[in-house]
Structure 1
């Protein structure tokens, strides 16, 4: 099974792919979020191109969590299989990993794809 991890941010959306349940996910893209419709269309395009089976979206607390639920529903309406996963501290953990491997400050600003990889890895680790 092929998975797409999604870190849905206010401005950018990080994406990461895993080829299967035992392989580590890797960041693939950052999508600028101009509107929900454009973001959904871009993700649908990537899912079709990459032949993704399952979309895993990190869900935060509060108002952003409501926005993520709307995005998930919009993706489901496009026929995608979508699950929501806990994203607690994924951005902080992404910054830590990027710092540990020596990525520069400019690169660390675009931490969304790494956060998506962390969300996806946690989901895969917890999956029965």
Structure 2
């Protein structure tokens, strides 16, 4: 059962994919967040190519657990995916995944330019792995 994880951002959407057993998450790619039509088309292609059965969209909550403007944008994006695709779409609390991804890349001494290329993909992998771990318990 493959699951697709999406870390939605203004400029880029990080994409991660689980293994066939739904145990581990791997960063897959970044989608430039340009036209909504192009983004939805690419996600649809990924769903079809990889036999995805569920999509998980990161829901950035405030530190006190409330949902702010950024979270509302992600919820609207998840609704659009539900309307467009024929797979379930879950929302998952993704607080601090981008911070954790950036910190890990800094600790690995990855250059600023390379960090920019992979941080969104890595954040998507972290949020998807958190989701998979919670489901397994």
User: How does the TM-score come out when normalised to structure 2?
Assistant: 0.86
Structure 1 portions without partners, runs of 5+: none
Q: Distance in 1 between matches of 2:127 and 2:53?
A: 16
1:106 maps to 113
Which has the larger Rg?
Answer: 2
Point out 4+ residue stretches in structure 1 off by more than 4 angstroms: none
Q: Aligned-residue CA RMSD in angstroms?
A: 1.3
1:115 to 87, 103, 123: 123
1:2 aligns with 2:2: yes
8 Å CA contact 1:40–1:71 kept in 2: the answer is no
1:113 deviates by 0.3
1:104 deviates by 2.0
Deviation per CA, 1:15-72: give whole Å up to 9, x if none: 01111332x2111110001122221121111111111111111011322211111111
1:67 to 70, 73, 78: 73
1:109 deviates by 1.3
Give the length in aligned residue pairs: 127
1:21 maps to 22
Q: Secondary structure at the match of 1:53?
A: strand
8 Å CA contact 1:17–1:28 kept in 2: the answer is yes
1:125 deviates by 1.2
2:30 maps to 30
